[in-house]
Structure 1
Amino acid sequence: MRKDIRSIILAAAAVAAFAVPAVAESSTVCTVTAPEMRLRKSPSKKAKVVAIIKKDTKVTAEQCSGGWVKVSSQDGKLNGYIGGWALAAAPTQVAEAPATQVADTAPSTIAAQKEIPSNEKLAMQITELRLNVLGIERDMQQMHKEIRKIKSTLRHKK
């Protein structure tokens, strides 16, 4: 079961690597997608926690995915490391095309554009899948603990 989950995570990471375009700028605005994340002083689970960052908080980083990602708050007061799996590229505001350009475009082209999801949507879907897998693993660990408790109780009753 765990091998299947790991395979899913690896496949999602591979899709993310090819779906997210390379960033030309040195810094990108990312959004925290997990309910809350610990901002750490160094890239380690044992590192000191600098702050707790809530969901939908925007941070600046070189990239919005991967292992440990060095981030800073948008005001520059907080700096540290956060798990890249809980980050997604912040949506950018795209200006709509003028009506004359839309009218000149062929209907088949417009339909094709609606069928292909953007890189941001793909990244969000991958992040949601990762969070679901992590939640399932956590639930399975909890169930295994409860089963062990029940088995030990049954052994003591005999």
Structure 2
Amino acid sequence: MGITGKLEVEVDIKSCGDMFHELFGKKPHHVSNITPSKIHGCDVHEGEFGKPGSIINWDYTLDGKKCVAKEIIEELDEKKRYVKFKIIEGDLLNEFKSLTVTIHVISKGATTGVKWIAEFEKIADDGPYPTKLLDFCTAITKDIEAHHLKAY
């Protein structure tokens, strides 16, 4: 059994939390329009956007390398505003035996917290932790916030 863990990062944003949740919960294919240098495409492989059990393909650039990921939507909770994706294929599984990514939007009064949670099991004990992935998620969050603040 490899090393398992959970890393979290929370980014405070000034844009609407409902919009952010809807973007990843129901309209992830719009993310590539907002942050095209990071996310190049997102499409449904099986099922439909916004439905648990659906499988989504992502094309993205992480740490200067073009990558792909296939994820299943494990959970989607509108009231709690979170979405949980499990990576089932792709470049990230070269370093991790298992990896799930959860996006949880938290109201904080004048701001909104966007919490990214990576739960993982490493393939090799001396392998990397998913810190580059969380840095990537933080950068996407800031790009989305800047886009929406500029638009409104």
Same fold judged by TM-score > 0.5? no
Q: Give the structure with the higher percent strand.
A: 2
| Structure number with higher relative contact order (C-alpha < 8 Å, ≥ 6 residues apart) | 2
Q: Which is helix-richer, 1 or 2?
A: 1
Q: TM-score if structure 2 supplies the norm length?
A: 0.28
Rg (Cα) greater in structure = 1
Calculate the TM-score normalised by the size of structure 1. 0.27
